[in-house]
Each structure stands twice: as structure tokens, then as C-alpha cells.
Structure 1
Amino acid sequence: MRNFYSAYWWIFLLRGIFALILGVLAIIWPGATFTTLIVFLGGYLFVAGLFALIGAIAARKTTENWGIFLLSGLIGIILGVLTVYNPFATGAALIFLVGFWAMLAGIFEIIIAIRLRALITGEGWYIAGGTISILFGILLLSNPEAAALTLTWLFGFYAVISGIMLISLSLRLKRK
């Protein structure tokens, strides 16, 4: 008997194709408005949520972890609807969230590097990485328009890589 993942390999394939297309569009047309990208992101969250929901319903008889798929699907659908409903708020929140996260991550990297001085050599590289993270966060917060373009490209590359990985996974699952 095939397991859930092998039986529903096509769900991963569809998610991968959708992510790949969205990523390529974000990279090819970086001049598209950030609002459009946020609406696409909302559409992706909604579609991915639907596929996760379908997977959860299908998995309820074959796996005991189907509740995780269900929760993931419902959250994706809700976030997708909210994002499409108010893309400006979502876009602004995303820029500020990434900016503050980068600064906080940089601070923690520097603290960890200082604490690890006795255990490792070359901690200066980790401190430099933390400093770059802090500067990246400051740049995002100081110029939201450039941040929107930068985040569009970053999202595009992430979506392409994620799409390729999901397609590869689906093809391996299909063979099982």
C-alpha cells in the first residue's frame, strides 16, 4: 500500500510549479509594484493553503499527523484572504518585520560570537555577519521603496528555489 506522500505526489508538484512561476515573474519584472507582489503572495498563500487542506482531508485516514496539514492549510487560506484584502498593510508590515528581524538577528549573532571567542577562532567573521545583518535591517527601514524592490527579488529567488525543490520532491515521490 502506498503511503500518503507517494499517493498525493501531485500536490507537491502543483505547489512547486506555482512557486516556480511566481518566482520567475518576480525576478523578470522587478519593476512591478510591491503591491502586486503582495497580492501574488496572498494568492500563493491561499492556493498553498487549499492544497494543504486537500492533503489534510486526504490524509486523515492514512496518517495521524493530518491535523498539522489542516492547521497549515487553514492558516494559509486566512493569510491569503487578509493579504489580498489589504495588500498595503501587509506590504508595510512585511518590510518592517524583515527589517526588525534582520537587526535583532544581527545583534544575536554578535552576542553569540563574543561568547564563543574562547571556543572558536575566526569569530570576527560571525561578528561581521551580524553587523551586515544589522545594516541590512537599517537600510530596509530607512528606504521602504528600495526595500520593496529588494524583497521582491529575494522572494523571487526563494520561490524559484522552493519551486524547484518541491517539483524534485514530487517526482521522487511519484517513483515510490
Structure 2
Amino acid sequence: MRRQLRWTLVLRGAAAVSFGMMALVWPEVTASALALLFGVYALVDGAALLVSAFHREGDRTHRLAHAAGGALGVAVGVTAVAWPGITAPALVVLVGVWAVTTGVAEIWAAVRFRRELHHEWALFLAGAASVVAGALLWARPDVGAIILAQIVGVYALLSGGLALAAARRLHGATTAARPARHARHA
């Protein structure tokens, strides 16, 4: 179970960092290009959560949370990709809804599973960054594509870095537990 969670975090983190770098390197992209970039990112993130939900053992509530987050990510991603001519204000609202919803879910998961995950701080911070990014976007839905790209790019880099840190910490916890398990059987 930990190995699968680690790879889900790696995939989500890598997608977020890639999207964040593209959004910051090319902030002058049009709303259409940003919508496509974001759509692909949301699709990858949502698909990773869905795969995790259906291939995961253990807590049913955690699986349902992954499935709901994955379905939201896929729906938002499909919307952004299918509607590339989306205006900047509409894209801001779409990204804001996604960011706040996924952020709240990550904070909830960090609190709910703090004893099991050993990386709750990173998940909590990623969720908080997501909520803050969404709230910033909602506060100013009239921002242009460049400001939108910068806000979302910084959020994606932060969120992706935290997901990768959580995956590394989870890997370390798994590796540290492995010798102890073998020592008991000797």
C-alpha cells in the first residue's frame, strides 16, 4: 500500500512541477494555452488519484476521497481541454474551484491519516497552498493570463515539491521499516 501511495505522490508531484515550470517560464501564454496546460495537468493528477483509489487496499474512506478527487480532476481537466477558448476569468473560476476543493481534501486526509502516513505535514502544507491559491484566484477573477499563470505556476511548484517530499519521506519510512521486519523473522 505504501509503495503505491509513494508512486501516486511521485506522479502527481512530477506533473505539478512540470506544469508549474511551464506556467512560470511562459507566463505570457494565452488563456487558451494555459487552459490546455492546466487541463493536461488536472487530467494526469485526477487519473493518478483514480488509479490509486481502485488499486488501493485499506481504509474505504481514504479510497473514496481519492476517487472523488480523481473524478473532480478528470472532470476539470476534460473541461479545460475541451474548452480551450475559455476566457481568463472563466479559467480563474475553474482553477479556483479545483484548487480549493483538492486543497480541502488534502488537509482532511492529512488530519485523518496523520498516524499512518508519516508525511502529513507535506500533505497539509500542499492542501493549504492549494486553498490559498484558489482563494487568491477567487479574490481577483479579473486577473489576466500572465498573473493567472504566475499564481498557478507558483502553487503547482510548491504543491509538486511537497508531494515529492512526501513520497521521499514515505520511501524513507518504508525502507527503515524493512530491516526491522527482517530482524524479527531471523
Same fold (TM over 0.5): yes
- Contact kept? 2:23, 2:152, Cα under 8 Å: yes
Distance in 2, Cα, partners of 1:25 & 1:96: 20
* Contact 2:16 2:160 (C-alpha < 8 Å) held by counterparts: yes
What amino acid is the match of 1:10? W
Q: Is the 8 A contact 2:45 2:73 kept in 1?
A: yes
CA distance in structure 1 between the partners assigned to 2:94 and 2:74 by the alignment: 21
- TM-score calculated relative to the size of structure 1: 0.66
Q: Which residue in the other structure is 2:170 paired with?
A: 173
Figure out how many residues of one structure are paired with residues of the other and give that number.
Answer: 131
Aligned partner of 1:67 in structure 2 is 64
Listed as ranges, the matches of 1:38-53 within 5 Å are 38-53=35-50
Q: Which whole-Å CA distance do the structure 1 matches of 2:3 and 2:152 have between them?
A: 29
Question: What is the aligned counterpart of 2:26 among 22, 25, 29?
Answer: 29
**Inter-CA distance 97–162: structure 2 relative to 1 (3 Å threshold):** closer
Unaligned residue ranges in structure 1 (runs of 5+): 100-132
Percent identity between the aligned chains? Answer: 29
Please report the TM-score for the alignment, with normalisation by the length of structure 2: 0.63
Please identify, of 82-91 and 157-166, the stretch whose mean Cα deviation from structure 2 is larger.
82-91
Kept in 2: contact 1:7–1:174 (CA 8 A): no
Q: Which residue of 2 aligns with 1:115?
A: none
> Gapped runs of 5+ residues in structure 2?
97-135, 174-186
Correspondence list, 1:1-176, <5 A: 4-59=1-56, 61-65=57-61, 66-89=63-86, 91-95=88-92, 137=140, 141=142, 147-176=144-173
Aligned partners of 2:24 and 2:149 also within 8 Å: yes
Structure 1 runs of 4+ off > 4 angstroms?
96-99
CA distance in 1, matches of 2:154, 2:53: 28
Q: Distance in 1 between matches of 2:12 and 2:41?
A: 9
Higher RCO (Cα < 8 Å, 6 or more apart): 1
The CA RMSD measured in Å over matched residues stands at 2.4
Q: How big is each residue's C-alpha offset from its partner over 1:115-155, in whole Å with a ceiling of 9 and x where there is no partner?
A: xxxxxxxxxxxxxxxxxx8xx73xx53xx5xx211011111
